[in-house]
Amino acid sequence: MTSEFDVIVVGGGAAGIGAARRLADSSASCLLLEASQRLGGRAYTQDLGGYPLDFGCEWLHSGDRNAWVGIAEASGFPVNRGDPPWTKAHPSLDVDKDDQEAAWRAYGDWEERLRTVASGSDRASDALEQGGAWNGYVRAIAGFMSGAAPEDISATDYLAYDDASTGKNWHLPLGYGTLVAASLPSSATVRLATPAERIDLTGDGVEVTTRAGTIRAKAAVLTVSTAVLAGDAIRLPRGIDPWREAAAALPLGRNEKIFLEIERETAFGPDSHAYGNLEDPRSAAYSIRPNGWPVIEAFLGGEGARILDEEGPADGFAFVTAQLAALFGSDVASAIRPLAATSWSRIASIGGAYSCALPSRSQARSRLAQPFENRLFFAGEATHPFDFTTAHGAHDSGQRAADEALAALRDSHVLDRRDPPFAA
Protein backbone atom coordinates (compact mmCIF):
# COMPACT_ATOMS: atom_id res chain seq x y z
CA MET A 1 0.00 0.00 0.00
CA THR A 2 2.31 2.74 -1.27
CA SER A 3 0.50 5.70 -2.79
CA GLU A 4 0.33 9.44 -2.56
CA PHE A 5 -2.44 11.69 -1.26
CA ASP A 6 -2.72 15.37 -0.53
CA VAL A 7 -3.57 14.73 3.13
CA ILE A 8 -3.66 11.65 5.34
CA VAL A 9 -6.12 11.85 8.23
CA VAL A 10 -5.17 9.59 11.13
CA GLY A 11 -8.26 8.63 13.14
CA GLY A 12 -11.83 8.08 12.01
CA GLY A 13 -13.76 9.70 14.85
CA ALA A 14 -15.73 12.94 14.75
CA ALA A 15 -12.57 15.02 14.28
CA GLY A 16 -11.22 12.83 11.48
CA ILE A 17 -14.54 12.84 9.68
CA GLY A 18 -14.81 16.59 10.12
CA ALA A 19 -11.37 16.98 8.55
CA ALA A 20 -12.24 14.62 5.70
CA ARG A 21 -15.42 16.57 4.97
CA ARG A 22 -13.50 19.84 4.72
CA LEU A 23 -10.87 18.26 2.48
CA ALA A 24 -13.58 16.82 0.24
CA ASP A 25 -15.18 20.26 -0.08
CA SER A 26 -11.83 21.53 -1.33
CA SER A 27 -11.36 18.59 -3.73
CA ALA A 28 -8.20 17.45 -1.96
CA SER A 29 -7.33 13.77 -2.15
CA CYS A 30 -7.67 12.29 1.30
CA LEU A 31 -6.88 8.96 2.91
CA LEU A 32 -8.42 8.26 6.32
CA LEU A 33 -6.69 5.67 8.49
CA GLU A 34 -8.67 4.18 11.38
CA ALA A 35 -7.15 1.77 13.90
CA SER A 36 -10.40 -0.03 14.69
CA GLN A 37 -12.82 -1.88 12.44
CA ARG A 38 -15.41 0.90 12.45
CA LEU A 39 -15.77 4.64 12.02
CA GLY A 40 -16.92 7.03 14.72
CA GLY A 41 -14.35 6.74 17.51
CA ARG A 42 -16.04 7.77 20.74
CA ALA A 43 -19.28 8.19 18.79
CA TYR A 44 -20.62 4.65 18.66
CA THR A 45 -24.22 3.51 18.28
CA GLN A 46 -24.94 -0.17 18.71
CA ASP A 47 -28.27 -1.75 17.84
CA LEU A 48 -29.34 -4.03 20.68
CA GLY A 49 -32.76 -5.63 20.40
CA GLY A 50 -33.80 -3.03 17.86
CA TYR A 51 -32.78 -0.11 20.09
CA PRO A 52 -30.00 2.16 18.72
CA LEU A 53 -28.06 2.78 21.93
CA ASP A 54 -25.27 5.34 22.06
CA PHE A 55 -22.33 3.80 23.87
CA GLY A 56 -20.38 7.05 23.57
CA CYS A 57 -21.47 10.64 22.92
CA GLU A 58 -25.25 10.94 22.90
CA TRP A 59 -26.41 14.54 23.16
CA LEU A 60 -26.17 17.39 20.70
CA HIS A 61 -24.84 19.81 23.30
CA SER A 62 -25.21 23.49 22.41
CA GLY A 63 -27.55 22.21 19.73
CA ASP A 64 -28.33 25.66 18.38
CA ARG A 65 -24.70 26.02 17.24
CA ASN A 66 -23.72 22.36 16.87
CA ALA A 67 -22.45 21.51 13.38
CA TRP A 68 -23.84 17.98 13.58
CA VAL A 69 -27.39 19.36 13.64
CA GLY A 70 -26.98 20.81 10.15
CA ILE A 71 -25.24 17.65 8.96
CA ALA A 72 -28.07 15.53 10.36
CA GLU A 73 -30.80 17.59 8.75
CA ALA A 74 -29.01 17.66 5.38
CA SER A 75 -28.68 13.87 5.57
CA GLY A 76 -32.27 13.18 6.60
CA PHE A 77 -31.49 12.24 10.20
CA PRO A 78 -34.26 13.33 12.58
CA VAL A 79 -33.30 15.69 15.41
CA ASN A 80 -35.32 15.74 18.63
CA ARG A 81 -35.25 19.26 20.05
CA GLY A 82 -37.23 18.31 23.15
CA ASP A 83 -35.94 18.64 26.69
CA PRO A 84 -33.43 15.97 27.74
CA PRO A 85 -34.51 13.40 30.34
CA TRP A 86 -32.52 14.94 33.18
CA THR A 87 -35.01 17.84 33.15
CA LYS A 88 -37.91 15.41 33.81
CA ALA A 89 -37.78 13.56 37.11
CA HIS A 90 -39.47 10.18 37.17
CA PRO A 91 -43.08 10.79 38.28
CA SER A 92 -43.21 7.95 40.81
CA LEU A 93 -40.08 8.97 42.71
CA ASP A 94 -40.69 10.22 46.22
CA VAL A 95 -37.67 12.48 46.52
CA ASP A 96 -36.88 14.89 49.30
CA LYS A 97 -37.33 18.23 47.53
CA ASP A 98 -35.41 20.08 50.22
CA ASP A 99 -32.41 17.79 49.89
CA GLN A 100 -32.53 17.98 46.12
CA GLU A 101 -32.63 21.76 46.12
CA ALA A 102 -29.84 21.88 48.68
CA ALA A 103 -27.68 19.62 46.51
CA TRP A 104 -28.34 21.73 43.40
CA ARG A 105 -27.55 24.88 45.36
CA ALA A 106 -24.30 23.37 46.62
CA TYR A 107 -23.26 22.58 43.05
CA GLY A 108 -24.08 26.13 41.92
CA ASP A 109 -22.12 27.59 44.83
CA TRP A 110 -19.16 25.38 43.95
CA GLU A 111 -19.23 26.63 40.35
CA GLU A 112 -19.25 30.22 41.57
CA ARG A 113 -16.26 29.59 43.84
CA LEU A 114 -14.41 28.08 40.87
CA ARG A 115 -14.00 31.62 39.50
CA THR A 116 -11.94 32.60 42.49
CA VAL A 117 -10.01 29.34 42.46
CA ALA A 118 -9.24 29.77 38.74
CA SER A 119 -7.12 32.82 39.52
CA GLY A 120 -5.26 30.99 42.28
CA SER A 121 -4.49 27.29 42.58
CA ASP A 122 -6.78 26.43 39.63
CA ARG A 123 -7.54 23.13 41.39
CA ALA A 124 -11.29 22.59 41.31
CA SER A 125 -11.30 20.69 44.62
CA ASP A 126 -10.21 23.88 46.37
CA ALA A 127 -13.69 25.26 45.62
CA LEU A 128 -15.38 22.48 47.61
CA GLU A 129 -16.93 23.58 50.88
CA GLN A 130 -14.86 22.12 53.70
CA GLY A 131 -16.96 19.34 55.21
CA GLY A 132 -19.84 20.24 52.91
CA ALA A 133 -22.84 17.93 53.22
CA TRP A 134 -23.31 17.78 49.47
CA ASN A 135 -19.71 17.41 48.34
CA GLY A 136 -20.52 13.87 47.18
CA TYR A 137 -23.13 15.26 44.80
CA VAL A 138 -20.72 17.91 43.50
CA ARG A 139 -18.08 15.25 42.93
CA ALA A 140 -20.53 13.08 41.02
CA ILE A 141 -21.63 15.93 38.72
CA ALA A 142 -18.00 16.93 38.14
CA GLY A 143 -17.37 13.29 37.21
CA PHE A 144 -20.21 13.35 34.68
CA MET A 145 -18.87 16.56 33.15
CA SER A 146 -15.14 15.84 33.17
CA GLY A 147 -14.68 12.18 34.01
CA ALA A 148 -12.31 13.15 36.80
CA ALA A 149 -12.26 14.04 40.49
CA PRO A 150 -12.15 17.78 41.34
CA GLU A 151 -8.55 17.34 42.53
CA ASP A 152 -7.58 16.64 38.90
CA ILE A 153 -9.71 19.31 37.20
CA SER A 154 -8.56 22.77 36.11
CA ALA A 155 -11.13 25.31 37.29
CA THR A 156 -10.27 27.53 34.33
CA ASP A 157 -10.91 24.68 31.92
CA TYR A 158 -14.18 23.65 33.58
CA LEU A 159 -15.52 27.20 33.41
CA ALA A 160 -14.46 27.68 29.77
CA TYR A 161 -16.81 24.89 28.72
CA ASP A 162 -19.57 25.95 31.06
CA ASP A 163 -19.49 29.59 29.97
CA ALA A 164 -19.61 28.68 26.27
CA SER A 165 -22.47 26.19 26.52
CA THR A 166 -25.85 27.42 25.26
CA GLY A 167 -27.76 24.90 27.37
CA LYS A 168 -29.54 23.40 24.36
CA ASN A 169 -29.24 19.61 24.51
CA TRP A 170 -30.90 17.85 21.60
CA HIS A 171 -31.07 14.22 20.64
CA LEU A 172 -30.69 11.94 17.60
CA PRO A 173 -33.19 9.07 17.83
CA LEU A 174 -31.15 7.03 15.34
CA GLY A 175 -27.99 7.55 17.38
CA TYR A 176 -25.13 10.06 17.40
CA GLY A 177 -22.67 7.36 16.42
CA THR A 178 -24.88 6.37 13.48
CA LEU A 179 -24.77 9.94 12.17
CA VAL A 180 -21.03 10.43 12.63
CA ALA A 181 -20.11 7.14 10.95
CA ALA A 182 -22.45 7.85 8.03
CA SER A 183 -21.04 11.33 7.43
CA LEU A 184 -17.70 10.47 5.85
CA PRO A 185 -17.70 11.83 2.29
CA SER A 186 -17.68 9.21 -0.47
CA SER A 187 -14.64 10.81 -2.07
CA ALA A 188 -12.44 9.93 0.92
CA THR A 189 -10.45 6.72 0.75
CA VAL A 190 -10.76 4.73 3.98
CA ARG A 191 -8.61 2.02 5.51
CA LEU A 192 -10.18 0.45 8.60
CA ALA A 193 -8.27 -1.78 11.02
CA THR A 194 -5.11 0.04 9.91
CA PRO A 195 -3.43 1.76 12.86
CA ALA A 196 -0.67 4.20 12.14
CA GLU A 197 2.56 2.92 13.68
CA ARG A 198 4.96 5.65 12.70
CA ILE A 199 4.82 9.14 11.17
CA ASP A 200 7.92 10.68 9.61
CA LEU A 201 8.57 13.96 7.85
CA THR A 202 10.10 13.71 4.39
CA GLY A 203 11.65 16.31 2.16
CA ASP A 204 8.31 17.28 0.67
CA GLY A 205 5.66 15.85 2.98
CA VAL A 206 5.00 12.99 5.39
CA GLU A 207 5.18 9.22 5.47
CA VAL A 208 2.80 7.18 7.58
CA THR A 209 3.86 3.61 8.26
CA THR A 210 1.26 0.91 8.92
CA ARG A 211 1.38 -2.88 9.02
CA ALA A 212 0.05 -2.80 5.46
CA GLY A 213 2.83 -0.55 4.18
CA THR A 214 3.90 3.05 3.96
CA ILE A 215 1.72 5.85 2.60
CA ARG A 216 3.05 9.19 1.46
CA ALA A 217 1.22 12.51 1.48
CA LYS A 218 1.87 16.23 1.46
CA ALA A 219 0.53 16.61 5.02
CA ALA A 220 -1.18 14.69 7.79
CA VAL A 221 -3.95 15.54 10.24
CA LEU A 222 -3.59 13.60 13.49
CA THR A 223 -6.87 13.18 15.39
CA VAL A 224 -6.09 10.40 17.87
CA SER A 225 -7.02 10.76 21.54
CA THR A 226 -4.68 12.36 24.05
CA ALA A 227 -4.17 8.94 25.67
CA VAL A 228 -2.82 7.58 22.39
CA LEU A 229 -0.82 10.70 21.59
CA ALA A 230 0.84 10.82 25.00
CA GLY A 231 1.66 7.11 24.80
CA ASP A 232 4.01 5.19 22.56
CA ALA A 233 1.58 3.49 20.15
CA ILE A 234 2.63 5.85 17.35
CA ARG A 235 6.27 6.81 16.77
CA LEU A 236 6.32 10.49 15.92
CA PRO A 237 9.04 12.75 14.49
CA ARG A 238 11.89 14.05 16.58
CA GLY A 239 10.97 17.32 18.25
CA ILE A 240 7.37 16.36 18.97
CA ASP A 241 7.82 16.09 22.76
CA PRO A 242 6.03 19.41 23.52
CA TRP A 243 2.92 18.06 21.80
CA ARG A 244 3.11 14.81 23.76
CA GLU A 245 3.53 16.80 26.98
CA ALA A 246 0.46 18.88 26.11
CA ALA A 247 -1.51 15.68 25.50
CA ALA A 248 -0.38 14.31 28.87
CA ALA A 249 -1.72 17.48 30.53
CA LEU A 250 -5.11 16.69 28.99
CA PRO A 251 -5.74 13.10 30.14
CA LEU A 252 -8.95 11.28 29.28
CA GLY A 253 -11.40 10.98 32.13
CA ARG A 254 -13.52 7.98 33.08
CA ASN A 255 -17.11 7.88 31.83
CA GLU A 256 -19.01 4.67 31.22
CA LYS A 257 -22.56 3.50 30.60
CA ILE A 258 -24.55 0.48 31.70
CA PHE A 259 -27.71 -0.53 29.86
CA LEU A 260 -30.44 -2.64 31.41
CA GLU A 261 -33.47 -4.12 29.70
CA ILE A 262 -36.88 -3.92 31.39
CA GLU A 263 -38.36 -7.40 31.02
CA ARG A 264 -41.85 -6.92 32.41
CA GLU A 265 -44.36 -4.19 33.16
CA THR A 266 -43.24 -1.95 35.99
CA ALA A 267 -43.84 1.54 37.23
CA PHE A 268 -40.97 2.90 35.12
CA GLY A 269 -42.35 5.94 33.34
CA PRO A 270 -41.12 6.68 29.80
CA ASP A 271 -38.59 9.38 28.93
CA SER A 272 -37.83 10.23 32.54
CA HIS A 273 -34.82 10.54 34.78
CA ALA A 274 -33.59 9.50 38.20
CA TYR A 275 -30.47 10.14 40.23
CA GLY A 276 -29.04 7.38 42.36
CA ASN A 277 -27.99 8.88 45.70
CA LEU A 278 -27.42 12.58 46.34
CA GLU A 279 -24.69 11.84 48.89
CA ASP A 280 -22.69 9.20 46.97
CA PRO A 281 -19.97 10.51 44.61
CA ARG A 282 -20.21 7.22 42.67
CA SER A 283 -23.90 7.67 41.88
CA ALA A 284 -25.24 7.08 38.39
CA ALA A 285 -27.68 9.23 36.46
CA TYR A 286 -30.48 7.12 34.99
CA SER A 287 -32.26 7.75 31.72
CA ILE A 288 -35.41 5.65 31.98
CA ARG A 289 -37.20 4.27 28.93
CA PRO A 290 -35.68 6.72 26.41
CA ASN A 291 -37.88 7.04 23.32
CA GLY A 292 -40.30 4.74 25.13
CA TRP A 293 -37.93 1.76 24.79
CA PRO A 294 -37.87 -0.86 27.59
CA VAL A 295 -34.34 0.21 28.50
CA ILE A 296 -32.62 2.01 31.37
CA GLU A 297 -29.31 3.76 30.70
CA ALA A 298 -27.06 4.35 33.70
CA PHE A 299 -24.37 6.99 33.17
CA LEU A 300 -21.34 6.80 35.46
CA GLY A 301 -18.57 9.36 35.70
CA GLY A 302 -15.33 9.74 37.62
CA GLU A 303 -15.48 7.65 40.78
CA GLY A 304 -18.58 5.79 39.61
CA ALA A 305 -16.97 4.78 36.33
CA ARG A 306 -14.07 3.29 38.28
CA ILE A 307 -16.44 0.51 39.39
CA LEU A 308 -16.72 -0.68 35.80
CA ASP A 309 -13.13 0.04 34.85
CA GLU A 310 -11.48 -1.60 37.85
CA GLU A 311 -13.99 -4.15 39.14
CA GLY A 312 -15.71 -5.16 35.90
CA PRO A 313 -19.20 -5.24 34.44
CA ALA A 314 -20.69 -7.67 36.97
CA ASP A 315 -19.94 -5.30 39.85
CA GLY A 316 -21.18 -2.38 37.76
CA PHE A 317 -24.52 -4.12 37.09
CA ALA A 318 -24.83 -4.99 40.78
CA PHE A 319 -24.16 -1.39 41.81
CA VAL A 320 -26.76 0.20 39.54
CA THR A 321 -29.33 -2.52 40.28
CA ALA A 322 -28.96 -1.80 43.99
CA GLN A 323 -29.41 1.92 43.40
CA LEU A 324 -32.52 1.35 41.29
CA ALA A 325 -33.95 -0.97 43.95
CA ALA A 326 -33.36 1.70 46.59
CA LEU A 327 -35.21 4.22 44.41
CA PHE A 328 -38.10 2.14 43.09
CA GLY A 329 -38.42 -0.82 45.46
CA SER A 330 -36.74 -4.20 45.76
CA ASP A 331 -39.10 -5.86 43.27
CA VAL A 332 -37.55 -3.95 40.35
CA ALA A 333 -34.44 -6.15 40.55
CA SER A 334 -36.44 -9.03 39.11
CA ALA A 335 -37.82 -6.82 36.33
CA ILE A 336 -34.50 -5.77 34.79
CA ARG A 337 -31.60 -7.64 33.29
CA PRO A 338 -28.12 -6.61 32.11
CA LEU A 339 -28.00 -5.64 28.46
CA ALA A 340 -24.57 -4.06 27.87
CA ALA A 341 -21.77 -2.09 29.49
CA THR A 342 -19.09 0.11 27.97
CA SER A 343 -15.35 -0.07 28.58
CA TRP A 344 -13.82 3.02 26.96
CA SER A 345 -10.81 3.06 29.26
CA ARG A 346 -9.86 -0.45 28.17
CA ILE A 347 -9.93 0.25 24.42
CA ALA A 348 -6.27 0.63 23.44
CA SER A 349 -6.97 2.81 20.41
CA ILE A 350 -8.93 5.31 22.57
CA GLY A 351 -8.05 4.91 26.24
CA GLY A 352 -10.87 6.71 28.04
CA ALA A 353 -13.77 9.12 27.68
CA TYR A 354 -12.96 12.76 26.97
CA SER A 355 -10.14 15.11 27.89
CA CYS A 356 -9.88 17.04 31.13
CA ALA A 357 -7.16 19.63 31.68
CA LEU A 358 -5.12 19.16 34.84
CA PRO A 359 -4.94 22.14 37.24
CA SER A 360 -2.96 25.05 35.78
CA ARG A 361 -2.68 23.25 32.42
CA SER A 362 -5.70 24.52 30.49
CA GLN A 363 -3.33 26.28 28.08
CA ALA A 364 -2.26 22.83 26.87
CA ARG A 365 -5.29 22.80 24.56
CA SER A 366 -4.00 25.67 22.43
CA ARG A 367 -0.50 24.21 22.54
CA LEU A 368 -1.70 20.85 21.28
CA ALA A 369 -3.59 22.53 18.44
CA GLN A 370 -0.43 24.08 16.96
CA PRO A 371 0.93 22.60 13.68
CA PHE A 372 4.26 20.80 13.69
CA GLU A 373 6.66 21.86 10.92
CA ASN A 374 3.62 22.97 8.90
CA ARG A 375 3.09 19.38 7.77
CA LEU A 376 1.59 17.64 10.79
CA PHE A 377 -1.67 19.12 12.08
CA PHE A 378 -3.56 18.22 15.23
CA ALA A 379 -7.29 17.89 15.85
CA GLY A 380 -9.66 16.26 18.30
CA GLU A 381 -11.96 17.44 21.06
CA ALA A 382 -8.95 18.06 23.31
CA THR A 383 -7.68 20.79 20.97
CA HIS A 384 -10.84 22.87 21.09
CA PRO A 385 -10.61 25.90 23.41
CA PHE A 386 -14.11 25.56 24.88
CA ASP A 387 -16.12 22.81 23.15
CA PHE A 388 -13.82 20.03 24.35
CA THR A 389 -15.51 16.82 25.53
CA THR A 390 -18.02 17.09 22.67
CA ALA A 391 -18.42 15.58 19.21
CA HIS A 392 -19.12 19.00 17.72
CA GLY A 393 -15.92 20.35 19.26
CA ALA A 394 -14.08 17.41 17.71
CA HIS A 395 -15.73 18.01 14.33
CA ASP A 396 -14.91 21.72 14.36
CA SER A 397 -11.31 21.03 15.33
CA GLY A 398 -11.01 18.64 12.38
CA GLN A 399 -12.26 21.34 10.03
CA ARG A 400 -9.81 23.81 11.53
CA ALA A 401 -6.85 21.42 11.13
CA ALA A 402 -7.87 20.62 7.54
CA ASP A 403 -7.99 24.34 6.76
CA GLU A 404 -4.52 24.75 8.24
CA ALA A 405 -3.19 21.87 6.14
CA LEU A 406 -4.71 23.23 2.95
CA ALA A 407 -3.36 26.71 3.64
CA ALA A 408 0.12 25.30 4.25
CA LEU A 409 0.01 23.36 0.99
CA ARG A 410 -1.16 26.40 -0.92
CA ASP A 411 1.62 28.50 0.60
CA SER A 412 4.14 25.90 -0.55
CA HIS A 413 2.52 25.89 -4.02
CA VAL A 414 1.91 22.16 -3.77
CA LEU A 415 -1.70 22.67 -4.77
CA ASP A 416 -1.14 25.14 -7.60
CA ARG A 417 -1.51 22.30 -10.11
CA ARG A 418 -5.25 22.18 -9.38
CA ASP A 419 -7.61 23.63 -11.96
CA PRO A 420 -9.85 25.15 -10.77
CA PRO A 421 -7.90 26.14 -7.64
CA PHE A 422 -8.93 24.85 -4.25
CA ALA A 423 -11.78 26.70 -2.58
CA ALA A 424 -10.80 29.18 0.05
Q: Report how far residue 176's alpha carbon sits from residue 392's, in angstroms, rounded to the nearest whole number.
A: 11
User: What is the predicted pLDDT for the residue at 416?
Assistant: 46
The pTM assigned to this predicted structure is 0.95
Q: Is the pLDDT of residue 423 over 50?
A: no
User: What is the predicted pLDDT for the residue at 30?
Assistant: 95
DSSP designation for 308: I
**Residues 6 or more apart in contact with residue 347 via CB below 8 angstroms:** 36
User: What is the predicted pLDDT for the residue at 415?
Assistant: 55
Rounded-to-5 percentages of helix, strand, coil across the chain: 40, 20, 40
Q: What is the pLDDT of residues 13-72, one digit of tens each?
A: 999 999 999 999 998 999 999 999 999 999 999 999 899 999 999 999 999 999 999 999
By CB neighbour count within 10 A (0-12 exposed, 13-18 middle, 19+ buried), where does 365 fall?
Answer: buried
CB atoms within 10 A of CB 286: 25
pLDDT category of residue 1 using cuts at 50, 70 and 90: very low
CB atoms within 10 A of CB 314: 11
By CB neighbour count within 10 A (0-12 exposed, 13-18 middle, 19+ buried), where does 168 fall?
Answer: middle
Amino acid occupying residue 413: H
Mean pLDDT of 306-324: 95
- In our burial notation (b when 16+ CB lie closer than 10 A, e otherwise), range 130-152 reads eeeebbbbbbbbbbbbbbbbbeb
Q: Report how far residue 244's alpha carbon sits from residue 337's, in angstroms, rounded to the nearest whole number.
A: 42
Pairing, β 213-222 against β 295-301: unpaired
Q: Is the pLDDT of residue 398 over 80?
A: yes
Q: What is the pLDDT of residues 90-99, one digit of tens each?
A: 877 877 889 9
Q: What is the pLDDT of residues 97-127, one digit of tens each?
A: 899 999 999 999 999 999 999 999 999 999 9
User: What is the predicted pLDDT for the residue at 123?
Assistant: 98
Q: How far is CA 301 from CA 27, 285, 289, 308, in A?
A: 41, 9, 20, 10
Mean pLDDT of 347-356: 97
pLDDT category of residue 269 using cuts at 50, 70 and 90: confident
User: What is the predicted pLDDT for the residue at 93?
Assistant: 80
Q: What is the pLDDT of residues 246-267, one digit of tens each?
A: 999 999 999 999 999 999 877 7
pLDDT category of residue 191 using cuts at 50, 70 and 90: very high
Q: Report how far residue 33's alpha carbon sits from residue 194's, in angstroms, rounded to the nearest whole number.
A: 6
Q: Report how far residue 405's alpha carbon sits from residue 7's, in angstroms, rounded to the nearest whole number.
A: 8
Q: What is the mean pLDDT of the chain?
A: 94
Its sign, for the CA torsion 341, 346, 348, 352, is positive
Q: Report how far residue 356's alpha carbon sits from residue 342's, in angstroms, rounded to the nearest whole number.
A: 20
